[in-house]
Amino acid sequence: MRKFAKSFAVAATVAALSLSACGRTEETASGAEEGFEDGAAIGVALPQKTSENWVLAETLFNDGLKEAGYEGQVQFANGGVSEQQNQISSMITNGVEVLIVGAIDGSQLGSQLQDAKDAGITVIAYDRLLTNTENVDYYVAYDNFKVGQLQGQALLDGLKEKKPEGPYNIELFAGSPDDANAQVFFDGAMDILQPEIEAGNLVVGSGQTEFNQAVTQGWKAENAQKRMDTLLSSNYASQELDGVLSPNDTLARAVLTSVTGAGKALPVITGQDSEVESVKLIMEGKQYSTINKDTRNLVNQSIDMVKALGAGEEVEINDDESYDNGKKVVESYLLEPVIVTKANAAEAYANDPTLSELTK
């Protein structure tokens, strides 16, 4: 089950009675049913530049909002949560009509989101869910639970390709505990892996199978590498490590660096984000898989939401039950992630001008 799903299923069912199949009018989002004029300011608050996809999002939002006739105010909070809080407060003061938030820590923006609600601003959670607040109107993201499931299945597939018979020695890594997505990725993966662990087909050498044991603070490569160094020295002096669940490409490369430094054979390892260096490793047979979550599609969907709000029209959603943020079930538009291995990389990246060149 999803981390932010199901606990308020009854409330979600009741709420669903008032929804159309594809969306709802903005009668409950403050003032949004009236729309807003061309040239309106749209705030986009992004987290630290921890991956290529966040950097790309900045350019895509700036260009896409301008093309749509809006004034984009796009900012990164490389200084941390307090900087993001200040940036969002400034956007509210500057009179943005919509606030798109890719949070560093989705639980730390309650005051700012209340101010946004009081000002009649529609709030869209981008990629990462905003938690423990009623003051979020929509969530747009790839289906992150499915991302985890795909990663778990890819790990199993890769292990079987490498060695038909188990059991297999594996280790588990998770993302940063202040990122709401990290738990969802991990839960999705464990939905696939836990039955195999219980059956004895997978053996976690360290015994660290809980999310809080596997986390990587800040999604930082150096933290993942340090943990992998410790796991190898403590548990794999006399046995091989067959596989690693890695939640993204940056951490996957850090783990591979650690394994190489220890003189061990490279394990089957998963990833996410389709970063250039990891796609290269996949084509070289050093990283088994990644997830393609095309940032262009995610930004375009966000801007489509803004356009609908600006025109006073219905905002399209395709999920109204899966993401409970602790205060409400947030109406969502979830895009489909795609697992990528060497076998399907050329097809998966056929429309990506950069990554397609790496698969030829």
Question: Do 118 and 188 fall into the same domain?
Answer: no
b/e burial code for range 168-191 (CB count within 10 A of at least 16 → b) = bbbbbbbbbbbbbbbbbbbbbbbb
244 & 350 share domain: yes
List the one residue out of 356, 308, 339, 250 whose CA is nearest residue 24. Answer: 308
What is the reported pLDDT for 10? Answer: 31
Q: Are 167 and 98 in the same domain?
A: no
CATH number, residue 259: 3.40.50.2300
Is 2 part of a structural domain of the chain? no
Residues 309 and 206 occupy one common structural domain: no
Say yes or no: 209 and 346 in one domain.
yes
Number of domains forming the structure of the chain:
2
Kindly give the parts of the chain with pLDDT less than 70.
1-33
Q: Are residues 110 and 23 in the same domain?
A: yes
Same domain, 14 and 57: yes
Among candidate residues 118, 123, 160, the one with its CA nearest the CA of residue 138: 123
Q: Are residues 185 and 269 part of one domain?
A: yes
Compute and round to an integer the Cα radius of gyration of the chain. 21
Tell me, what's the pLDDT at 33?
Answer: 59
How many angstroms separate the CA atoms of 71 and 320, rounded? 30
Residues 264 and 211 in one domain: yes
Q: 213 and 350: one domain? A: yes
0.75 surpassed by pTM: yes
My answer on whether 154 and 217 are in the same domain is: yes
- The answer to whether position 1 is within a domain reads no
- Check residue 24 and give its pLDDT: 34
User: How far, CA to CA in Å, does 168 sit from each of 125, 152, 233, 267, 355?
Assistant: 38, 14, 18, 10, 32
Residues 6+ apart with CB under 8 A from 341: 154, 157, 158, 282, 288, 289
- Burial of residue 123, with CB atoms counted within 10 A of its CB: 0-12 exposed, 13-18 middle, 19 or more buried: buried
Write the DSSP string, 29-94: STTGGG---TT-EEEEEE----SHHHHHHHHHHHHHHHHTT-EEEEEE-TT-HHHHHHHHHHHHHT
User: What pLDDT shows up at residue 58?
Assistant: 95
Question: Do 118 and 38 fall within a single domain?
Answer: yes
Containing domain of residue 350, as a range? 144-293+341-358
